[in-house]
Structure 1
Amino acid sequence: MLKKSLRIRKNADFRRVYRAGKAVPGKFLVLIFKENGVGITRFGFSISKKIGKAVVRNRVKRVLSEICRLHLGEVKEGYDIVFIGRSSVGKVGFKDLEKEFFKLIKKAGLYRENKGNGNEKE
């Protein structure tokens, strides 16, 4: 699970990213990102109520959170990143979401080749 400091939790922060951020569409997810000026990268997850029941939506958020935690060192710092689930996101597994994560991060130009300090044990 991601630390609270690495998650976007406030509605105002989500709205700021939606309003002023850049969107990168994918097959299962849409990535929206914006520089945050804080120096750390924070992640947010938005899964519509149109996608399955609460169990499915929460599972998708948990899987995305774990993918972000595992690959934190491979993402450039200083951004707020929001993942929005498309209708098919509830039917895919961990590996498919992980591939989609890397595809979107690279497409957005947020992939960091030289892995930094994001993967240490806590």
Structure 2
Amino acid sequence: MKYSESLKKNKDFQKVYSEKKSYANKYLVMYTMKNNTDQNRLGISVSKKVGNSIVRHRLTRLIRESYRLQEERFQCGYDIVVIARVSAKGKDYHEIEKALLHLAHLHKIIDQG
């Protein structure tokens, strides 16, 4: 299993946004772009509109953990940016995980299993 890295730099986020390949559901928005490597890079964005820093960090941890536990199902070689919507505030782990997997399925970057 290949372990993913994090997207940290603004220019990396902007590059993924510029591809304009996104899907959204009730809680999350996901942008993807091929990165021509053998591993994924995950970026998570939670706006101040969602809540205070405690709420934002909790959502970030939920998204990261949802991805980490399902990582082996994701195809390699993608930059993935996940944006939390205001409606994601207060949701539990299972709802966030389900939303993440739904978006990955729409992008066709997840193996069935």
TM-score with structure 1 setting the length: 0.86
Alignment of 1:47 with 2:42, yes or no, is: no
CA distance in 2, matches of 1:13, 1:47: 16
RMSD of equivalent CA atoms: 1.3
Q: What letter is aligned with 1:8?
A: L
Runs of 4+ in 1 over 2 A off after TM superposition: none
Q: Cα offset for 1:21? A: 4.1
Mind listing any 5+ residue stretches in structure 1 that lack a counterpart? Answer: 115-122
In the TM superposition, 1:1-122 aligns within 5 A as: 6-113=5-112
- Percent identical: 33
Shift in Å, 1:90? 1.2
Aligned length: 111
| Partner-residue secondary structure (3-state), 2:86 | coil
CA distance in 2, matches of 1:52, 1:10: 23
Which residue is equivalent to 1:120? none
Inter-partner Cα distance in structure 1 for 2:20 and 2:42: 13
- Cα deviation, residue 6, structure 1: 1.4
Unaligned runs of 5+ in 2: none
SS in structure 2 at match of 1:34: strand
> What residue number does 1:119 align with?
none
Structure 1 residue 102, shift from structure 2 partner? 1.0
What TM-score results when the alignment is normalised by the length of structure 2?
0.92
CA distance in 1, matches of 2:19, 2:43: 15
